[in-house]
Structure 1
Amino acid sequence: MTPLERAQAQMDAPGWLLPGPLVLRLMLAALLAVAVSGGLSAWLASRASEREAVRRLVDQQTEEVEVMARLLASKIEQSQKVLRTVAEGITPQMLSSPSSLHWLLQQGLPAVQFFDSMQVARQDGELRVNLHSGRLEDAANLDPAERDALRRTLSDGKPLVSELVGARTTGARVVFTMPLRREEGPVLGVVAGALKLHSQGLLPPSMTSPARDDSRLIVFTRDGTILAHPDAQRILGSVRDEPGLGPVYAQWLQQAQPVAGRGTTVVQPAHIVSMAGMPLPQWLVARVTDSSAMLAPLEGAQRKVWWLAAAVMGASMALLAVFTLWMAQPLARLCQSALQLAQGGRTDSIVWPRATGEVGVLVQVFEGQVQHSAHEREQRAQLEGQFQAILDNASVGIVITRQGLLEVVGRQACQMLGYGARELQGRPARILYASDEDYARLGARVQAEFVAHGAFDGDVCFMHKDGSPVWARVQGRGIQAHDIEGGTVWILEDMTAAREAQQQQDWGATHDPLTQLCNREAFVQRMAVLLAERSSRAHTSALAAMDAAETEGDGVMLFLDLDHFTVVNDVAGHDAGDDVLRHVARLLESQVRQIGWAARLGGDEFAVVLPGCSLARGRALAEQLRAAVQTWEPSYQGRSFTLGVSIGLVALDASLQDVPSLLNAADMACYDAKRAGRNRVETRHARDASVTSSGRMALGPV
């Protein structure tokens, strides 16, 4: 009995099917997966919660030390402002009058009471006042460090915040100095104020309390002297002896980091250390936290989570085993039905099991896929027929290439090149060219065009199957924009006859060699013929002719002048400018060749003639041309350029009897567009053509 017959017999047999080895292996794998995933999830959750707790502690500590550093910096700044107030109250005459200076410092300025001691010295260094706790003392009792701070301020003429003065805890203090001067004049003297280290103006004892066993807030100087500590015995000690903080401080010194800046936090195995500094004076604030003590509550919670996870995993594994056995029955029948479908059985003879839940969904999916596949095959056949009809009936050759291979070739392209309908399918594109050099040269040209314009538009010489040359105008665009590697669609128009005409001697006399458009002389000749034909059919009155031009459509002429074209020439060079002119000429020709013709009048000026076109349609086409030039952004030498075009539109009515007057009217309309802001379309009627070209020149260059 074959496996399919055995499966069919099992499906027809009543009762449950015995689970096979595959189901048992899947059950074992699922149980192991539950155990591993549960354990891994619990471990990841534990680690994630620990990292989140550390992250929050780090953010909290970093913010705390930053705030404390800013607070201390503001205290220093406030002390300097108070001292500046005292300095502003001291006049130059007081420096020569000790009695008035004594009175001012003892009674006249309340701001003096902010400091524990104050000194005033003249420019020559003579100490005029030495005030300690409101009492005058002899100048000889002044501490050398305080005297040095006064001298430095007299010398530099700048305010100063000294390092820590005094070796004992009770006498430690910080000295602030402020130069005395008259506006921006020379320094006349100096005033100094000292604050005790643990005064309310600097580091009050309440700042580091209450003390916690698991965390310490410490303030210390750049050289490692402790200024504030929860343990009073550690004040004026070395920060290098602090557990956790000592190594971080040593590393900070080794890296020579600046004192001021944002807070930084270092996570160690046993401590979390956060530091922030302030520039004046060069002090640092640190918070040292015992990480094990902080994370102890989290570890207890994690143990509970582990026990809960183990219980959940055990229950889940038991339920999974039971449900796997139960689910094996419809799943086995589904697998057998799917096997029958895969072996090519008739879809109408397959009996899908009726079930709910996931198996029921899979049954619906299988049935839906069967219907969808049949529908897709029908749609694909229709699309292939439609696509083939387009390829067979298109008036131009259509070719699709990818990675150098001809994926799709239309009937017109095959006929143009002399091949049968299937001869080019899947062949290398190289066979369409006379030599490897021609193929490589065209590839480089296509690549450059796609880089500059995002598309290709040009004449290409192919090789006919019989070896003769075939010239075609080729337009190529990526199936996906600007992605030539993802496939390219090519439109081919046979230009062999036109190319042969170009070889004639008289063709070069009437066409511009750069853009292949009619030149100015040919334009004048063709327009003269057109105007003569229009004149012979003119109406009896000029008014009737004007009405016909507005309604019935005698034709229009567009005068186009590129905006900002000189920028391309100046920045990217004349070769890029020539490429722009060629591309604009191609754009004009492709847009109007069904209803008119284009010419290059010279420089960056073009003309478009639309015989039989109404004025409204001419305006719409002019706007279309303007928008096409504006949206095109060529790229040369790695730089993109934005161009515009100013267009003047003139109706070909009976009032315009000669080409010069027509050109003048169109030129003046273009000038109106330039004067109105460029990159726009302006219309002039024959009755408005009274403004002459001399009038334009009188207004200056455009």
Structure 2
Amino acid sequence: MTPPATPAPHPDAPGWKMPGALVLRLVLVAVLAVMVSGAVSAWLVTRASGQEAMRRMVSQQTDEVEVVARLLASKIEQSQKVLRTVAAGITPGMLDSPSTLEWLLQQGLPAVQFFDSMQVARDNGELRMNLRAGRLQKASELDPAERDALRRTLVHGKPLVSELIGGRTSDARVMFTMPLHRDDGTVLGVVAGALRLQSQGLLPPSMALPARDDSRLIVFTRDGTILSHSDPTRVMGQVRDEPGLAPVYAQWQTQAQPVVGRGITHAQPDHVVSLAGMPLPQWFVARVSHSQALLEPLQGAQRDAWWLAAASMALCALLVALLMGWMAQPLAQLTHGARRLLQPAASAGAPPPAPEDAAWPRAGGEVGALVRAFEGLVRQAHRQQRQMATLNGQFEAILDNASVGIVISRQGLLDVVGRQAGLMLGYGPGELRGRPARMLYATDADYQRLGERVQAEFAAHGAFDGDVCFTRKDGTPVWARVQGRGVQPGELDGELDGGTLWILEDITAAREAQAQHAWERSHDALTQLYNRAAFDERLGLLMAERATRPRHPPAEGQEPDGDGVVLFMDLDHFTVVNDVAGHDAGDDVLRHVARLLESQVRQIGWAARLGGDEFAVVLPGCALARGQAVAEQLRVSVAAWEPSYQGRSFTLGVSIGLVVLDASLQDVPSVLYAADMACYDAKRAGRNRVETRHARQATASGRMALGPV
């Protein structure tokens, strides 16, 4: 048994669709937001960690110099305690017995071994003992600075720690003095002990850490002499030569700050300097560190953290892009379906797909609302397609059965050509469709002149109405009365985007009659309407023919039946056009009004120009109500037209007098008089209106030739 064939997948079956430009832009914005937020967060964390590391380093370094300062202060205090012990063992009698004092200092007091040298002096300044390295020295060998320290102690009676004594590193020392008191508290003498600078009791070399490029531990005096340094060669040097420490020391000297035991730290661009002082010996402990060297491990860790942050941000951005792409799939499928929906519209007349033929995504929210809207649009398009097919059939039927030629042109091409127009021009059905309108004219110059004429007419009147000579397919001329209107309302330029509708009426025979002299005698040369003489003649014939018909008397209270109506028309504000725009513009207004009158009453009557801006219209067999409706229609048409000349628009109106042709009017002068009086009533009532007069309102004295108003 053969298995059933697998059906082919629907072209609109759900699947992964590439999101559109809007979604891609949103994804890009989201990715950029993730990257920027991650970068800002990483920068803030890095900055905070750097600041915290610097704070900890400063705190640690400050604590370090405070500890070293306390350690050195304790050594000074210890040295003073040892010297106090020695002073306590010296009695007043020993000062008078040099041998006893020598024995005491060399053998009797072990504490004496703590100092490198010792001196004892009486209150009168006499040096009783000068012991250096366990051997007696002459009084003359005592350093002047040491002698000065002894004298100051005797004068003030207080212990002291001397300034640095000796100018070489190997000979540099510090002297500690302690006064000797009698029982009554007076100064008996002074005992002094000296320690070498780098001795174990003061600043041993082991206290200074090995020299490093990133940090230096320095002990220096108030005057800037270096006592201890990580680099031994810098001992006895000057602080002003120390990078990083020199500006801090100079600032301290300028501000004359006191020596304090608490540590302070100065952060500079390249160095971090921490200082702590020892008040008694007037010494300072400084730690000078290179900022970049100390922060280099942290910076390496920060670089690693930046790489990890970048990788994390890239991963998050990828996840956000994939998630947004997945969330945007209903919208992408909707877009794909909409594009497929528009594809048949590009083909000639192809109907849109049925709603059941499109696989729309099933989603809620905004996408669901759009899906429902698209489905409704598809159903509406199907209904409109059917209606359009019906309208096209009706339009084709109108074109095939119209008594006049109908042509629709668009952008210089013949879009629609009716059967009657094709026959008039000598072409078969469909032969002119899509062809250029130029082929209907004998020469390019004729086509260009007519185009300029059409443009001018549309600019001035919003439409075209005139006689045009075309060329048939066989080359013979054919004259047609042409009326042109824009397909879209409000379009007033020739060959518009929406197209132009042209109605053609063959007037070749009429044009031939116009060539004859009789036509010239009966028509006005400017407006091509009947002139005054022809009007009187035709109206007289109409009234004579009416007089031969049998009449029935009207019922009581009713008007007698009429055989038509006569309209007397006088243009309002016509002199303004002549005065402002010139007589050429006035002639153009008269021609246009004549065309308007003729087009409105051609099927039910005829019009004539009586002279100047006065016209008359005869509507034979027209009842009063119908005549009033036609008159109002003519008034509205003239009032709605706003001609434009020399960049200025003009407003016209027309006053119309209407009279019924009944039995009381026996001749043409009486008819014109009654109509003229009705027109005068319209002007007196405010112009641009229609007034009706019955024959009995005209007096017998008014039966005279029509005069100008």
| TM-score, normalised via structure 2 length | 0.52
Q: What do the CA deviations read for 1:214-243 (whole angstroms, capped 9, x no partner)?
A: xxxxxxxxxxxxxxxxxxxxxxxxxxxxxx
| Residues 355, 379 of structure 2: 8 Å contact kept | no
Summarize deviations over 1:532-551 as a string: whole Å, max 9, x none.
1222225265x6699464xx
Change in 2 beyond 3 A, CA 1:471/1:546: farther
1:500 maps to which of 512, 522, 533: 512
| Cα drift, residue 360 of structure 1 | 4.3
Match of 2:463 among 452, 455, 459: 455
Check if 1:634 corresponds to 2:619.
no
Q: CA deviation at 1:352?
A: 5.4
1:692 offset after TM fit, Å? 4.5
Matched with 2:539 is 527
* Residues 341-373 of structure 1: CA deviation (Å, up to 9, x unaligned): 999999867665544345545654565565455
What is the Cα deviation at residue 455 of structure 1? 0.9
Residue 416 of structure 1 corresponds to 424
State whether residues 355 and 375 of structure 2, in contact with CA within 8 Å, keep that contact through their aligned partners in structure 1. no
Q: Within 5 A, what are the aligned runs for 1:75-474?
A: 320=320, 323-324=323-324, 327=327, 354-357=362-365, 360-361=368-369, 364=372, 367-368=375-376, 371-474=379-482
Give the AA of the match of 1:483. D
Asked if 2 retains the 8 angstrom alpha-carbon contact of 1:462 and 1:469, the reply is: yes
Question: 419-428 vs 360-369, which deviates more?
Answer: 360-369
Q: Deviations over 1:624-643 (max 9, x none)?
A: 11111111111111111111
The residue aligned with 1:273 is none
Q: Is the 8 A contact 2:570 2:654 kept in 1?
A: yes
Q: 1:590 to 1:362 in 2, by over 3 A?
A: closer
Give, as a single letter, the amino acid of the residue that structure 1 aligns with 2:504: L
**Partner SS state of residue 475, structure 1:** strand
**1:69-98 CA distance string (max 9 Å, x none):** xxxxxxxxxxxxxxxxxxxxxxxxxxxxxx
2:493 is matched with: 483
Aligned length: 417
Partner Cα separation in structure 1 for residue 510 and residue 381 of structure 2: 50
Any conservation in 1 of the 2:31–2:320 contact (CA below 8 Å)? no
SS in 2 for 1:425: coil
Partner Cα separation in structure 2 for residue 594 and residue 458 of structure 1: 18
Deviation at 1:327, TM superposition (A): 3.4
CA distance in 1, matches of 2:559, 2:699: 21
Structure 1 residues 503 and 367, CA gap change in structure 2 (3 angstroms):
same
1:347 and 1:320 map into 2 onto residues whose CA distance is 34
Deviation at 1:37, TM superposition (A): 6.1
Counterpart of 1:579 in structure 2: which amino acid? D
Rg larger in structure: 2
Task: Find 1:578's aligned residue among 552, 571, 587.
Answer: 587
Alpha-carbon distance between aligned partners in 2 of 1:675 and 1:333, rounded to the nearest angstrom: 73
Shift of 1:394: 2.1
Shift of 1:446: 0.9
Structure 1 residues 568 and 367, CA gap change in structure 2 (3 angstroms): closer
Structure 1 CA distance for aligned equivalents of residues 12 and 399 of structure 2: 54
Task: Describe how 1:611-626 pairs up with structure 2 within 5 A.
Answer: 611-626=620-635
Change (3 A) 1:36 1:452: same
The 1:31–1:560 alpha-carbon spacing in structure 2 relative to 1, beyond 3 Å, is closer
Deviation at 1:659, TM superposition (A): 0.8
Q: Deviations over 1:3-32 (max 9, x none)?
A: x999779989xxxx8x79x68999997554
Contact kept, 8 Å, 2:464 with 2:484, in 1: the verdict is: yes
2:566 to 553, 557, 560: 557
Task: Report the 3-state secondary structure (helix = DSSP H, G, I; strand = E; otherwise coil) of the residue aligned with 1:687.
Answer: helix
Q: Contact 1:31 / 1:317 at 8 angstroms: preserved in 2?
A: no
2:20 touches 2:332 (CA, 8 Å); kept in 1?
A: no
Q: Which string of whole-angstrom CA distances, capped at 9 and with x for unpartnered residues, describes residues 307-364 of structure 1?
A: xxxxxx9999799568537537767987998999999999867665544345545654
Distance change in 2, residues 1:39/1:457 (3 Å): farther
Check 1:640–1:37 CA distance in 2 against 1; reply closer, same or farther (3 A cut): farther
Aligned-pair distance for 1:467?
1.3
Evaluate the alpha carbon distance shift between residue 447 and residue 349 of structure 1 in structure 2; reply closer, same or farther with a 3 A threshold.
Answer: closer
Query: Does structure 2 retain, via aligned residues, the 8 Å contact 1:8–1:336?
Result: no
Secondary structure of the equivalent of 1:506?
helix
In structure 2, C-alpha distance between the alignment counterparts of 1:539 and 1:26, rounded to whole Å: 84
Q: 2:638 is paired with a residue of what secondary structure?
A: helix
Distance in 2, matches of 1:625 and 1:591, equals 7
Q: CA deviation at 1:390?
A: 2.2
Q: Which one of 528, 535, 539 corresponds to residue 516 of structure 1?
A: 528
**Residue number in structure 1 paired with 2:109:** none
Q: Which residue of 2 aligns with 1:78?
A: none
- In the alignment, structure 2 segments of 5+ residues that lack a partner are 1-5, 38-312, 345-352
Match of 1:289 in 2: none
Assess, with a 3 A threshold, how the Cα gap between structure 1 residues 323 and 357 changes in structure 2: closer, same or farther. farther
**Cα distance change of structure 1 residues 656 and 429 upon mapping to structure 2, 3 Å threshold:** same
Segments of 5+ residues of structure 1 without an aligned counterpart are 42-312
- 1:22-81 deviation line (CA, Å, top 9, x unaligned): 68999997554125469999xxxxxxxxxxxxxxxxxxxxxxxxxxxxxxxxxxxxxxxx
Q: 1:667 and 2:663 equivalent? A: no
CA distance in 2, matches of 1:335, 1:350: 12
Question: Match of 2:571, SS?
Answer: strand
Distance verdict in 2 for CA 1:619–1:6, change over 3 Å: closer
Using a 3 Å threshold, how does the CA distance of structure 1 residues 625 and 336 change in structure 2: closer, same or farther? closer
Q: Secondary structure at the match of 2:431?
A: coil
- In structure 2, what is the Cα distance between the partners aligned to 1:441 and 1:24? 51
SS, match of residue 645 in structure 1: strand
- The residue number in structure 1 matching 2:306 is none
Q: Deviations over 1:85-128 (max 9, x none)?
A: xxxxxxxxxxxxxxxxxxxxxxxxxxxxxxxxxxxxxxxxxxxx
Q: Is the CA contact (8 Å cut-off) linking 2:487 and 2:500 kept in structure 1?
A: yes
Is the Cα–Cα contact under 8 Å of residues 668 and 696 in structure 1 kept in the other structure? no
Deviations 1:164-209 (A, max 9, x none): xxxxxxxxxxxxxxxxxxxxxxxxxxxxxxxxxxxxxxxxxxxxxx
Deviation track 1:270-301 (CA, whole Å, cap 9, x = no partner) reads xxxxxxxxxxxxxxxxxxxxxxxxxxxxxxxx
Letter in 2 for 1:447: Q
Equivalent residue number for residue 605 of structure 2 = 596
Q: Aligned pair in 2 of structure 1 residues 575, 321: CA closer, same or farther (>3 Å)? A: closer
Taking a change above 3 Å as real, the CA distance of residues 376 and 592 of structure 1, as seen in their structure-2 partners, is: closer
> CA RMSD, aligned part only?
4.2
Return the alpha-carbon distance in structure 2 between the equivalents of residues 540 and 343 of structure 1. Answer: 73
Instruction: Give the secondary structure class of the aligned counterpart of 2:636.
Output: helix
Contact 2:12 2:359 in 1 (8 A): no
CA distance in 1 between counterparts of 2:442 and 2:466 reads: 18
**What residue identity is the alignment partner of 1:571?**
V
Structure 1-normalised TM-score?
A: 0.52
The code of the aligned residue for 1:681 comes to V
Secondary structure of the equivalent of 1:483?
coil
* Between 663-672 and 688-697, the greater mean CA deviation after superposition: 688-697
User: Counterpart of 2:587 in 1: which secondary structure?
Assistant: helix
